[in-house]
Structure 1
Amino acid sequence: MFNSFKKHGQSILGSMDPERSLAVDVFRGLTITLMILVNNPGSWSYVYWPLAHAEWHGWTPTDLVFPFFIFIVGMALSFKKVTKEESQLTLVLEAFNRGAKLFLIGLAIALFYYDFLNPAYDWWQEKFFTIRVMGVLQRIGLVFFFSATLIYFSRPRGIVLWMIGLLIFYSGLMIFMPYQLPDGSVAMGLWEKGNNFAASIDHFILGRDHVYAGGNQPFSYDPEGLLTTLPSISSCLAGYLTGLYLKADSEAAKKVKTLFYAGIVLTMAAYGLSLYIPINKALWTPSYVVLTTGLALATLASLIYILDMKKARLWSAPFIVFGANALLFYVFSMIFARILVIIPFKGRELQEVYYTDYLAPIFGNYAASLVFALLFLCFSYGLFYLLYKRQIFWKV
């Protein structure tokens, strides 16, 4: 069995373009794999704490996944080859086109659902007229467009200023901008769940029917909301600057040390900053940006050390497959997960039957929920390996 895995892994590694960064590709693959793993438990009632988001302030390993992916989007922008014939306007229009496609795909996924078990289900009212406007792909689309635009019109020093400036501007709004509560009173400077300036923006602009936490009081809000998109742009710009550094001519050992130590310093700085501004994923606070950027740098440095310096590469093969089609993998996982809860079986959702009747009695509730997610990944791997083998890659 090991020999088969070794042969399989070697064939994947051997097919890679030698000019590509293996560490970056594996980083992307690891991140999207973890994203799919945490998004697809057998039951949301039984999830081990590392695979669940922090309830509000603080963080878990799951809270690193999305900012890592945003960080990688920035790295991809640094590797984009721009010809002299392409004007800034052309590049911005291209970025807008790609960002808009991502946003529309996110909306399409939000609409992909039907409750066949409910004869009175009204899709137009339950989904179309109450569509969640923001979401993961919608945020990526917005971040990609605005980050690309800033990059095409700025030099690296300017990008640093934009990155820091966005965090300061966002913090200023959250701390000093007053907002009115439903009871008529005025609040300012809060970081509470559903009671902060960002939540008030989501509540009044998007509305309760079009956000993730529509039933929250005093304000509905979305963890991928409008105002909180601003600091997530800084996460993307941090990835861009990291990509520029990786492209610079220097020894791998030096890059590993620089990235790792920078990651440690930023992580420590994040905890210092958290004394004033809490670490919070839903609000994408500046301390959260600094923390996740620091941990992303440390993770990337570790991968460069393991893969490029120590040449321990065989284990990374599956993540290369998933990373090569990261966007398609995410879209597929969302659609496939919806299909599993849409299809009725024995008067219940297919996923519920499979988890409750087959997995839970064998493994127990929590372990069965994790086993379901792992089986989801294994099934997905078979499909995406076939795409990888045929060199079929989907890009917007």
Structure 2
Amino acid sequence: MTQKARLLSLDVIRGLLVAFMILVNNPGSWEHVYAPFLHAEWHGFTPTDWIFPGALFVVGVSISLAFEPTRQKPALPTGLGKKILRRVAILFGLGLFLNAFPTFPLDTWRIPGVLQRIAIVFWACAWLYLVTNWRQQIGILLALLLGYWALLALVPVPGGGSPNFLPQTNIAAWLDNNLLGSHIWSHSISGDPEGILSTLPAIGTCILGMLSGSLYHHNQHRPAPWSRQLMLFGAAIMALGWVWGLVFPLNKNLWTSSFAVFTAGLSMVILAACIYLLDVRRIRGWATPFHHFGVNPIALYFLSGIVATLLYFITLSDGNSLHSWLYSNLFSSWLPLKAASLAFAIAFVTFHWAVAFILFRRKVFIKV
């Protein structure tokens, strides 16, 4: 498989994730959203819950593809550590900026976030990939997932609480609330959804992506056998995660180990389908919009956060936000409320696809 074809599947699934993330983050009204486009309130799983772990899984696959030639060298290149840290700092900084824009309230400035978690997970997994082999990575994966299960299931919550998986009294929420205080997501029913302890199994999600990338190298860069193996392993890992969820519930907020395993298996299956369609059968027309998103994912995600915030922040003469005016006049005035809310989200995604298309046509690829 050529470099261009090899990367197409990954770009497309990356773009699919970004487009889906923008869609579910920007309904016309949060009071009128179809259930599949909402996160599970606590235990459980919806299609929307796959988006972020899917993104971290893709980060892991990308690490494997990008760093394998470097790992084969006798010594790591000078300056590699600085390049990794630079990317981590930029991602973390962009996330902090999004959390505070446009008012920048120092007393409640949320510290964790989506881009911040990507930054931390990328930093940890990039170094793991460079200094460990796949067997050691499996050992670290098991330690993270089983260790996190033990922490939540066996360690008493300081202050007298028994171990539990409840929203307000689990040990992950206790740690976030005590260490981060008011600097967590203000709408959370627990600790921060991208909190401190739950970053450990999130690293596990990325390691499973790295191991999936290692299968590609094992198959000598041939897409057909890689696709078959990913499909088989993915189905088995999904089943394992689902069974584990019977005793350690699937939970996106806590990023339970069962959730990490189940969503990684689902990511393998979806990636396998993309590889089969795009690189084996070469059926590619459907993927073009997602390819446009996938070559500038961070830039488009960041832009969507800025635009969404401005739509709420800009107030018109009647006192309503620009978001409210657009939704009321263009969508909810003639559509059923849930359909109107979804139509607004689709229009929002379409606007960002137009930006993605322009960047793609002009060969502007914003690297982070």
Same fold (TM over 0.5): yes
The match for 1:6 is none
The match for 1:298 is 269
Matches within 5 A, 1:197-276: 197-207=171-181, 209-213=182-186, 216=189, 221-247=191-217, 248-249=219-220, 251-276=222-247
Q: Residues of 2 paired with 1:231 and 1:193: CA distance?
A: 18
The match for 2:345 is 373
Q: Residues of 2 paired with 1:201 and 1:88: CA distance?
A: 38
What amino acid does structure 2 have at the position aligned with 1:360? S
Q: Residues of 1 paired with 2:323 and 2:154: CA distance?
A: 47
Q: Percent identity, aligned pairs only?
A: 37
- Cα distance 1:301–1:198, how it changes in 2: closer, same or farther (>3 A)? same
Q: Residues of 1 paired with 2:140 and 2:245: CA distance?
A: 21
* Structure 1: runs of 5 or more not aligned: 1-15, 115-122
1:240-278 Cα offsets, whole Å, 9 max, x none, are 111121233165332222111111111111121112100
Q: Residues of 2 paired with 1:33 and 1:358: CA distance?
A: 22
From 85, 88, 97, the equivalent of 1:96 is: 85
What amino acid does structure 2 have at the position aligned with 1:109? L
| Cα pair 2:157 2:169 within 8 Å, conserved | no
Q: Residues of 2 paired with 1:288 and 1:129: CA distance?
A: 33
The match for 2:336 is 364
The answer to which of 355-364 and 56-65 deviates more is 355-364
- Residue 49 (structure 1) aligned with residue 35 (structure 2): yes
Q: What secondary structure is seen at the aligned counterpart in 1 of 2:153?
A: helix
What amino acid does structure 1 have at the position aligned with 2:343? V
What amino acid does structure 2 have at the position aligned with 1:226? I
The match for 1:353 is 325
Offset of residue 89 of structure 1? 7.5
- Cα distance 1:93–1:178, how it changes in 2: closer, same or farther (>3 A)? farther
The answer to which of 325-334 and 169-178 deviates more is 169-178
Matches within 5 A, 1:1-396: 18-81=4-67, 82-83=69-70, 84=73, 87=76, 90-114=79-103, 127-181=105-159, 186-207=160-181, 209-213=182-186, 216=189, 221-247=191-217, 248-249=219-220, 251-345=222-316, 346-396=318-368
Q: Residues of 1 paired with 2:183 and 2:128: CA distance?
A: 29
| Cα pair 1:92 1:152 within 8 Å, conserved | no
What amino acid does structure 2 have at the position aligned with 1:198? A
What amino acid does structure 2 have at the position aligned with 1:37? L
| Cα pair 1:273 1:287 within 8 Å, conserved | yes
1:348-389 Cα offsets, whole Å, 9 max, x none, are 110011112331011121111111111111111111111111
Q: Residues of 2 paired with 1:394 and 1:105: CA distance?
A: 14
Offset of residue 157 of structure 1? 1.2
1:114-149 Cα offsets, whole Å, 9 max, x none, are 4xxxxxxxx6xxx22210110101111111111112
Pick the structure with greater CA Rg.
1
1:25-61 Cα offsets, whole Å, 9 max, x none, are 1111111111111111111111111100001000100
The answer to which of 59-68 and 239-248 deviates more is 239-248
Q: What secondary structure is seen at the aligned counterpart in 2 of 1:210?
A: coil
* Structure 2: runs of 5 or more not aligned: none
Q: Residues of 1 paired with 2:358 and 2:26: CA distance?
A: 22
Q: Residues of 2 paired with 1:17 and 1:149: CA distance?
A: 24
Q: Residues of 2 paired with 1:285 and 1:76: CA distance?
A: 23
Could you say what the CA RMSD is over the residues aligned between the two structures, in angstroms? 1.9
- Cα distance 1:215–1:316, how it changes in 2: closer, same or farther (>3 A)? closer
Offset of residue 90 of structure 1? 3.8
Q: Residues of 2 paired with 1:176 and 1:317: CA distance?
A: 48
What amino acid does structure 2 have at the position aligned with 1:288? F
| Cα pair 1:78 1:240 within 8 Å, conserved | yes
Residue correspondences, number = 362
Offset of residue 213 of structure 1? 4.4
Offset of residue 86 of structure 1? 6.2
| Cα pair 1:88 1:152 within 8 Å, conserved | no
Offset of residue 151 of structure 1? 1.6
What amino acid does structure 2 have at the position aligned with 1:96? L
